């Protein structure tokens, strides 16, 4: 029976090659994970949960009255952490949003648009893409998505030297059906495509998953360096000024 309920699970780990402990990085007086949590909380999701492997993150989330769960420190991907957290709900939710804890610029409006798209779609996964800058399309750290009609056909980190209207920046936000999550749980082995690009979604694509998408025009900055934090702070301050 379809109940149409949605849970958003935010995986947050301490370890990060370039910015250890980044979920707790201070952004305009609040830890980054709190910005993400509060934005999603304002959306139409039925429940929000932070899934972490670190007591420091757990304790900070508790301090701002967030919903948090301790998970294994053995997970290799955020989706594996989401899978573990979702198991405690016994299929109470039909749709699961996987949103990384380093997306402090995400908005409730974006999440709502993703939910609408998810409920209309029949494919296994719906994700978020956005227009790319000239610098981003040439940067290997930017994940690109190639779209035709209503599906993403390819993900890659490869630099793009020719501009095309069919290529977008991939934001790494996913909305799954609960059935898709169960299938992902059985995909234990990395595929050659996944290894080559270091992109977990290619394992799902190799298994036959189809990807729908929602195009967001809001600014996104994945936080990996202190300079990224400065940029995020500037954008958030501008939003506050515009809302006054």
pLDDT at 160 over 50: yes
Kindly state the DSSP code that residue 151 receives in the 8-state scheme. E
- How confident is the model at residue 238, as a pLDDT? 85
Q: What percent of the chain clears pLDDT 90, i.e. is strictly above it?
A: 75
DSSP-assigned letters across all residues of 58-75:
HHHHHHTT--EEE--S--
If pLDDT is split at 50, 70 and 90, which confidence band does 220 have? confident
- How confident is the model at residue 146, as a pLDDT? 97
Q: In this predicted model, what pLDDT tens digit does every residue of 229-238 receive, in sequence order?
A: 899 999 998 8
- How confident is the model at residue 114, as a pLDDT? 97
If pLDDT is split at 50, 70 and 90, which confidence band does 244 have? very low
State the CATH architecture for 6-243. Answer: Alpha-Beta Complex (3.90)
CA 198 – CA 112 distance, rounded (Å): 29
pLDDT at 1 over 80: no
Residue 144: strand, helix, or coil: strand
Q: What percent of the chain clears pLDDT 70, i.e. is strictly above it?
A: 96
Q: Where are the domains of the chain?
A: 6-243
Average pLDDT of the residues in 139-160: 95
pLDDT at 208 over 90: yes
Given 3-state DSSP classes, what are the helix, strand and coil percentages for the chain, each rounded to the nearest 5? 35, 25, 40
If pLDDT is split at 50, 70 and 90, which confidence band does 45 have? very high
pLDDT at 222 over 80: no
Look up tokens 């996104």; give the residue.
220
Average pLDDT of the residues in 153-163: 92
Mean pLDDT of the chain, nearest integer:
92
Q: In this predicted model, what pLDDT tens digit does every residue of 59-118 receive, in sequence order?
A: 999 999 999 999 999 998 999 999 999 999 988 999 999 999 888 999 999 999 999 999
Give kind and range of the element (H or E) at residue 179.
helix 178-185
């Amino acid at each position: 029976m379809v109940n149409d309920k949605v849970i958003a699970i935010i995986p947050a780990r301490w370890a990060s090659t370039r910015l250890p402990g980044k979920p707790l990085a201070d952004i305009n007086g609040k830890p980054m994970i709190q910005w993400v949590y509060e934005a999603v909380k304002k959306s139409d999701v039925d429940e929000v949960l932070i899934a972490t492997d670190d007591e420091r993150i757990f304790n900070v989330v508790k301090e701002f009255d967030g919903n948090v769960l301790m998970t294994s420190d053995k997970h290799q991907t955020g989706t594996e952490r989401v899978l573990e957290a979702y198991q405690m709900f016994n299929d109470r939710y039909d749709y699961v949003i996987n949103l990384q804890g380093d997306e402090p610029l995400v908005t409730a409006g974006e999440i709502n648009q993703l939910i609408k798209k998810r409920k209309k779609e029949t494919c296994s996964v719906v994700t978020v893409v956005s227009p790319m800058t000239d610098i981003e399309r040439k940067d290997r750290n930017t994940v690109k998505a190639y779209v035709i009609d209503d599906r993403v056909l390819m993900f890659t980190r490869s630099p793009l030297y020719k501009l095309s209207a069919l290529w977008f920046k991939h934001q790494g936000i996913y909305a799954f059906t609960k059935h898709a999550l169960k299938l992902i749980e059985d995909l234990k082995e990395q595929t050659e495509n996944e290894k080559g690009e270091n992109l977990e979604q290619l394992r799902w694509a190799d298994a036959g998953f189809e990807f729908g998408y929602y195009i967001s025009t809001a600014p996104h900055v994945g936080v990996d360096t202190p300079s990224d934090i400065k940029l995020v702070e500037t954008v958030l301050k501008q939003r506050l000024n515009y809302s006054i």
